[in-house]
């Protein structure tokens, strides 16, 4: 349906996008896949981006209205960042508490029980590998999931026992008695 009114047309297109979100996204993905393979397209894309960056700073320094707009947008981004970080800090604290409770709440080697200095020890010694393979919070989430499922790979060690095991490469920090 041909809409000559610019605003109406915009609205119609917006509604169409909202109604067929998946379809429109698939079109976009296909278009990009087709064009990304073409080296000419990549060159052109690079040039466009460069031009945009140059224009951005010219506009930023010469146009106070634009500068204000950018400032507000960045501020909003910053706020969102702070809220997200807060959210994950809280989540992490919850996950940690649950993991410590399931694993017994005290160091499995010496019995120390102040939660502030308790850490989760990887019995198989694959803590570094686990860290490399996922982001910080994803790793914690997966770890808790495995602990809930009753994985044998995790034990609580206090900071002292954990560092001694790491330094000496043994699985028992010291022999008591």
Stretch touching Zn ion by CB under 5 A, among 48-56, 68-76, 105-113, 134-142 = 105-113
102, 110, 123, 164: residue in contact with Zn ion (rule CB under 5 A): 110
Residues 116-145 that bind Zn ion (CB under 5 A): none
Q: How far is the CB of 154 from Zn ion (least distance, A)?
A: 15
Give the CA count within 13 Å in the CB-facing half-sphere of 8. Answer: 5
Q: Is 156 in the site for Zn ion (CB under 5 A)?
A: no
Q: Is 109 in the site for Zn ion (CB under 5 A)?
A: yes
* Helix, coil or strand: residue 15: helix
Q: How far is the CB of 157 from Zn ion (least distance, A)?
A: 6
112, 123, 141, 164: residue in contact with Zn ion (rule CB under 5 A): 112
- SS3 for 79-127, per residue? HHHHHHHHHHHHHHHHHHHHHHHHCCCCCCCCCCCCHHHEEEEECCCCH
Q: How far apart are CA 142 and CA 113, in angstroms?
A: 24
C-alpha of 159 from chain center? 26
Q: Is 159 in the site for Zn ion (CB under 5 A)?
A: no
Residues 52-91 that bind Zn ion (CB under 5 A): none
Footprint of Zn ion (CB under 5 A): 107, 109-110, 112, 158, 161
């Amino acid at each position: 349906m041909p809409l000559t009114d610019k605003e109406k047309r915009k609205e119609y297109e917006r509604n169409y996008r909202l109604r067929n979100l998946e379809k429109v996204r698939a079109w976009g993905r296909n278009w990009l896949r087709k064009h990304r393979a073409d080296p000419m397209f990549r060159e052109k894309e690079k040039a466009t981006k460069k031009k945009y960056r140059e224009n951005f700073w010219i506009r930023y320094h010469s146009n106070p209205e634009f500068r204000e707009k950018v400032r507000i947008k960045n501020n909003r981004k910053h706020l969102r960042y702070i809220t997200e970080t807060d959210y994950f800090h809280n989540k992490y604290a919850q996950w940690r508490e649950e993991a410590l409770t399931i694993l017994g709440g005290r160091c499995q080697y010496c019995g120390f029980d102040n939660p502030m200095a308790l850490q989760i020890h990887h019995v198989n010694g694959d803590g570094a590998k686990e860290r490399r393979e996922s982001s910080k919070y994803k790793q914690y989430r997966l770890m808790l999931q495995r602990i809930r499922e009753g994985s044998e790979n995790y034990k609580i060690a206090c900071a002292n026992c954990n560092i001694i095991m790491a330094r000496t490469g043994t699985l028992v920090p010291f022999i008591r008695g």
